[in-house]
Amino acid sequence: MTGQVPLEPADCGPSLAAVYRPEPGDHVKIERDGAEVHSGVVEVVSEDFRKVWLKAEGVNLRRLFDISEGYEFVLCPTAALP
Protein backbone atom coordinates (compact mmCIF):
# COMPACT_ATOMS: atom_id res chain seq x y z
CA MET A 1 0.00 0.00 0.00
CA THR A 2 2.80 2.36 -0.82
CA GLY A 3 1.58 5.93 -1.27
CA GLN A 4 -1.66 5.27 0.57
CA VAL A 5 -2.75 5.77 4.14
CA PRO A 6 -5.88 4.28 5.71
CA LEU A 7 -8.54 6.75 6.76
CA GLU A 8 -9.91 6.75 10.28
CA PRO A 9 -12.28 3.84 11.05
CA ALA A 10 -15.18 6.31 11.17
CA ASP A 11 -14.57 6.87 7.44
CA CYS A 12 -15.22 3.21 6.63
CA GLY A 13 -18.17 2.48 4.40
CA PRO A 14 -21.38 0.83 5.50
CA SER A 15 -21.29 -2.88 6.17
CA LEU A 16 -20.95 -4.82 2.95
CA ALA A 17 -21.01 -8.29 4.50
CA ALA A 18 -23.44 -9.64 1.89
CA VAL A 19 -21.38 -8.49 -1.11
CA TYR A 20 -17.89 -7.51 0.03
CA ARG A 21 -15.19 -10.14 -0.32
CA PRO A 22 -12.05 -9.11 1.54
CA GLU A 23 -8.74 -9.27 -0.31
CA PRO A 24 -5.20 -9.34 1.09
CA GLY A 25 -4.01 -5.76 1.58
CA ASP A 26 -7.49 -4.33 2.21
CA HIS A 27 -7.87 -2.14 5.28
CA VAL A 28 -10.98 -3.31 7.12
CA LYS A 29 -12.99 -2.63 10.24
CA ILE A 30 -14.32 -5.71 12.06
CA GLU A 31 -17.78 -5.31 13.59
CA ARG A 32 -19.88 -7.54 15.82
CA ASP A 33 -23.44 -6.67 16.81
CA GLY A 34 -22.98 -3.26 15.16
CA ALA A 35 -19.94 -2.29 17.24
CA GLU A 36 -16.36 -2.04 16.02
CA VAL A 37 -14.17 -4.63 17.72
CA HIS A 38 -10.96 -4.36 15.69
CA SER A 39 -9.48 -2.92 12.51
CA GLY A 40 -6.43 -3.68 10.43
CA VAL A 41 -5.00 -4.91 7.16
CA VAL A 42 -6.12 -8.23 5.69
CA GLU A 43 -3.26 -10.72 5.42
CA VAL A 44 -4.98 -13.99 4.43
CA VAL A 45 -8.53 -14.84 3.32
CA SER A 46 -10.06 -18.33 3.31
CA GLU A 47 -11.27 -19.73 -0.03
CA ASP A 48 -14.91 -19.23 0.99
CA PHE A 49 -14.24 -15.63 2.20
CA ARG A 50 -15.66 -16.50 5.65
CA LYS A 51 -12.38 -16.29 7.59
CA VAL A 52 -9.89 -13.43 7.57
CA TRP A 53 -6.48 -13.10 9.20
CA LEU A 54 -5.50 -9.52 10.00
CA LYS A 55 -1.81 -8.61 10.02
CA ALA A 56 -0.04 -7.91 13.28
CA GLU A 57 0.40 -4.16 13.77
CA GLY A 58 2.31 -2.62 16.66
CA VAL A 59 1.22 -4.33 19.87
CA ASN A 60 -1.74 -6.04 18.15
CA LEU A 61 -1.02 -9.67 17.30
CA ARG A 62 -2.10 -11.38 14.08
CA ARG A 63 -5.76 -12.27 14.57
CA LEU A 64 -8.38 -14.52 12.95
CA PHE A 65 -12.03 -13.50 12.45
CA ASP A 66 -14.83 -15.77 11.18
CA ILE A 67 -18.22 -14.47 10.00
CA SER A 68 -19.91 -17.57 11.44
CA GLU A 69 -19.08 -16.09 14.88
CA GLY A 70 -21.09 -12.94 14.13
CA TYR A 71 -18.29 -10.78 12.72
CA GLU A 72 -18.75 -8.51 9.70
CA PHE A 73 -15.95 -7.06 7.56
CA VAL A 74 -16.32 -3.41 6.54
CA LEU A 75 -14.00 -2.08 3.84
CA CYS A 76 -12.23 1.16 4.75
CA PRO A 77 -11.27 3.40 1.85
CA THR A 78 -7.69 4.57 1.51
CA ALA A 79 -6.50 8.00 0.50
CA ALA A 80 -3.46 8.67 -1.64
CA LEU A 81 -0.72 10.62 0.05
CA PRO A 82 0.06 14.02 -1.52
SS3 16: coil
Are the C-beta atoms of residues 29 and 69 closer than 8 Å to each other?
no
pTM: 0.70
CB within 8 Å of 37: residues ≥ 6 apart: 30, 31, 71
Return per-residue pLDDT of the chain as tens, 82 residues: 334 444 344 455 554 445 678 899 999 999 999 899 999 999 999 999 899 999 998 898 999 999 999 999 888 876 443 4
Q: Domain-by-domain residue ranges, the chain?
A: 4-80
4-80 maps to CATH 2.30.30: yes
What letters, b where the CB count within 10 A reaches 16 and e where it falls short, cover 25-45? ebbbbbbeeeeeeebbbbeeb
Phi, psi of 10 (to 5 degrees): -65, -20
